[in-house]
Structures are given as C-alpha cells and as structure tokens.
Amino acid sequence: MGRWTSRLVAAFGVLFAVALVALSGVGGYLYWNRVELKAEQQASQELPTLAAQQIPQILGFDYQTVERSRTEVYSLMTPDFRRQYEDDTTKNVIPQARDRQVISQVNVVGTGMLSAQRDSGSVMVFMNRTVTDKSKTPVYDGSRLRVDYQKIDGKWLIKDIKLL
C-alpha cells in the first residue's frame, strides 16, 4: 500500500471508532432517558392512589386506639420523617386525644400529581376532616396537603407532609 492509502485507511479507522463511540453514547442516553420517563410515568400513576389510601390512616384516629394506630403507620414513612412524626405524636397528639377524647375522621376527596421523578414525587391531597371531642360537637375542616414521597428499596415512603 502507498503512503496515502495507509493514511486514508487510518483516518477511516479513527473516524469509524469516533462514530461508534458517539453512537454508543447516543444509544445509552436514549435508553436511560426512556428508563427515567417510564419510572416517572409509573410514579405518576401510583402515588396519587397511594396518598389517598395513606393520608386517612396517618391523620385519622380514635382516642381509644390512637397509640396503636399511630404505631401502625410508622412503616409508611422514611426514617427521618418517622422520627419527626413520632415525636409530635408522642408529645402532642396522643396526650391531647386522650384528654379531650378526640376522634379524627379523614376523607380524601381528590389528589393530583405535583411532580414525579424516578425515585421521588409530590402529591397534592384535598381532604375533609371531621374532628369530634367529648363535647360531641363535630368540627369540619377542609385542607390541602403536599405529600412528598421517596422510593427506598423499591417501596414508596412518605418523606414529608405539609399543610398548604
């Protein structure tokens, strides 16, 4: 082979290698983008239903069973939020519920996705709550909540609940 032919073959080889690397990069990006998009869509489908099921369990209680019902919902939360919720429940909710004989009934009337990622998401929850104490006079309250979720070990856990 001639000198120019060798250079031309080497140039085509380098060009082929660069094109192969570029195509591999584009293919990897497209694959990962598809994985992310599919996970976001799945979160958007799962989280509103999950929030509608979990919020009544977390915010609803009966003064006679408040301790047991609070303990049962701890598994729905991330460790950090669980500690915060447990502190508030132990110091405020349980003593007041027993003292005033409070019954809190929660009804979720609507949910909507605020944001969804592969391993986190936020849901808007519209709820009505009826609180009755020993006076037997019910108090009705409509609220909006932002419920933040985080996926840990394949399970959606509540990371935070904010009253809006």
**pLDDT at site 39:** 74
**Buried b / exposed e along 74-95 (16+ C-beta atoms within 10 A):** eebbbeebbeebeeebeeebbe
Fold for domain 46-163?
Answer: Nuclear Transport Factor 2; Chain: A, (3.10.450)
The pTM score is: 0.78
**pLDDT block averages, 10 residues each, the chain of length 164:** 79 86 84 80 91 96 89 93 93 91 95 93 96 90 96 95 94
Q: Where in the chain are the domains?
A: 46-163
